Amino acid sequence: MSDYTQAELDEMATEFAAMDAEFSEFGLDEMDSELGEAFAELDAELDASGISAMDFDTMSIGELADNEYDTQFIGIFLRNKAKKLIATIVRLVRRYSKCKKCLPKVLIAVRYFKAKKYASAIRAAYDAYRCIRACTKK
């Protein structure tokens, strides 16, 4: 069995249910860390072949908004969501030392947040969350 008490397991279930609800807002359920690794490998191959500079259209936060006020609102919203999610995964990874293998994923989320890349921080937090969740189920 596990080293966790029933109260701890119940608390984790509650925390994970809350995080599932948070992440469902962003539609990240399909995100998979193996897919990210596959894309990293693809990017490396594109870099090596010299064709990594393909111009794909990307949408900035400014393009999502109708005006400057909306742009600020979206940025603040994403920052606050990322901050809340990261605080939760940091607390979980510190609390459950058994999940120390997830620490690098948490660090990636924190680094994105510090770089003010809030959407990327949310995606990285989700990847860390999945790692912690899997770790605690063992």
Q: What is the mean pLDDT of residues 131-135?
A: 89
Residue 98 belongs to a domain: yes
Residue 100 lies in a domain: yes
- For the segment 101-112, the average pLDDT, to the nearest whole number, is 93
- Residue 94 forms part of a structural domain: yes
Residues 134 and 95 sit within 8 Å (Cβ to Cβ): no
Q: Would the pTM of this model clear 0.75, i.e. be above it?
A: no
- Name the percent of the chain lying above pLDDT 70: 63
The domain total for the chain is 1
**Is 1 within a domain?**
no
Question: Is residue 108, in this structure, part of any structural domain at all?
Answer: yes
Query: Does residue 78 lie in a domain region?
Result: yes
Instruction: Supply the range of the domain harboring residue 17.
Output: 6-137
pLDDT at 11 over 90: no
pLDDT in tens, 49-103: 655 444 434 445 556 567 787 778 888 888 898 998 999 889 888 888 888 899 9
10 Å Cβ neighbour count for 100? 12
What is the rounded CA–CA span in Å between residue 135 and residue 6?
17
